[in-house]
Structures are given as C-alpha cells and as structure tokens.
Amino acid sequence: DIQMTQSPSTLSASLGDRVTITCRASQSISRWLAWYQLKPGKAPKLLIYQASSLESGVPPRFSGSGSGTEFTLTISSLQPEDFATYYCQQHNSSPWTFGQGTKVEI
Amino acid sequence: QVQLQESGPGLVKPSETMSLTCTVSDSIYRYYWTWIRQSPGKGLEYIGYVYHSGNTNYNPSLKSRVTMSIDTSKNQFSLKVTSVTAADTAVYYCASDRGSGYFDYWGQGTLVTVSS
C-alpha cells in the first residue's frame, strides 16, 4: 500500500493567516491526490482532487499543488469556518490511503 | 447534491457481525458506493466499494471479514464485518466515488463500538 504522511500534525494559526499543509507519498502518485476537510459530527467535505482541481462550491482561498510524491494544501486567508482537520488521500492505486490528518486550531 | 445517511446498531459484541446500511438520495446507478472508517484517535481507512452491478472491491486488510451489497430498489447499500473486535470500533462513513478513486459526497458517519 502507498503510505501518506502529512505534516504538521497540528497547526496553530490565527484568522487571516496563510496556512500550508504538506503531504508526502511513499512512492510517486503522479497528481492523483485529494484533500478533505473533517469537522466533528459533520459530513467530510472534498476540497481538492487531482492535486489542484477545486471541487465545485469550495472557496478559492483553498488551493492545492504538487506532483509525484510531494503535495501541499494552502489556505490563503484562514476563516473561522476553516478550523478543522484536513486529510490528504492518494487516488493513484487501490487500496486508496489517507494521511494521518492535520488539525488546524486557533 | 447527493445525500447519504448511515444507519445501524451503535454497539456490537466482540466476535459478532456488524451490519450497516447507507441510504442514498440520488440515483444509485451513478457512482461507486464506498465505506470508509475512522478509528478513535486514528486516521481514515478505506474499506471498499460496491457498484450497482454488485461488483465489489475490498481493502485486502479487511477482505476476509467484509461483505458489501446493494439494493437498487431501496437506493441502499450495506456493509457487513464479521468477527469484530475492539479494533473495529470506529466512525463508519459511507461515501460516493465517481470512479476516480476520490470521494465527493459523504454521510455524517455513525459510531460503532465493539464491547461486551
């Protein structure tokens, strides 16, 4: 299985901050990477797929980049509703695997 | 927008079989229907998918204990996990996959606790 490693595990930030989360794959996954936002008690939300494609309805302050084994999710200006846990997921080869998550907190 | 809702017992005894159902608001013919779980304090784990044809794909780590099925007449699909242990305690999510291996719609998740 492809191992996905995120950093940092926890990120402390303030409103308006630019935030960057990194995800590394144990082998090349081309651009087959997705990002999700999870909040307790709510349905997880797809943010980005194929490394940089913004899912419909997702605010443009979210962006993704990278290819091969290294990827980033950037939030350009942190909003109150963005405090959550973010996960990357490779969709290059089954079984699909996720990173361990990055919690963005105040 | 597709809506998904998980249902099933929240408490299962060790060694028993856990069963969950996901009800879908959209056409069940459109997507690959997936189960994902998140164990307490751990990350997300892909369990597998079922297609409207009945075709399935399971994560090898769980394949020996997992069965997925689909009922197109009820717009529902299901998950069974046999011989459960405490390690199967998790929030279980159902989700849709357009066929590209990522998940565009999710349910809110249901907590299943394995305990005597």
pLDDT score of A24: 98
Query: Which chain A residues are within 8 Å of B107, Cβ to Cβ?
Result: 43
CB neighbour class for B1 (10 Å; exposed up to 12, middle 13-18, buried from 19): exposed
Phi-psi region of A101 (alpha: psi -120 to 50; beta: other; left: phi over 0): left
Phi-psi region of B45 (alpha: psi -120 to 50; beta: other; left: phi over 0): beta
Largest CA distance in chain A: 37
- With CA atoms as reference, the chain A residue closest to B107 would be A43
The count of residues in chain B is 116
In this complex, do B46 and A98 lie within 8 Å of one another by their Cβ atoms?
yes
pLDDT score of A47: 98
- With CA atoms as reference, the chain B residue closest to A91 would be B101
Per-residue pLDDT tens digits for B18-48? 999 999 998 888 899 999 999 987 789 999 9
pLDDT tens series, chain B, 116 aa: 899 999 999 999 999 999 999 999 988 888 999 999 999 877 899 999 999 999 999 999 999 999 999 999 999 999 999 999 999 999 999 999 998 999 999 999 999 999 99
pLDDT tens series, chain A, 106 aa: 999 999 999 999 999 999 999 999 999 999 999 999 999 999 999 999 999 999 999 999 999 999 999 999 999 999 999 999 999 999 999 999 999 999 999 8
Closest CA to A19 of A68, A55, A71, A63: A63
In this complex, do A43 and B60 lie within 8 Å of one another by their Cβ atoms?
no
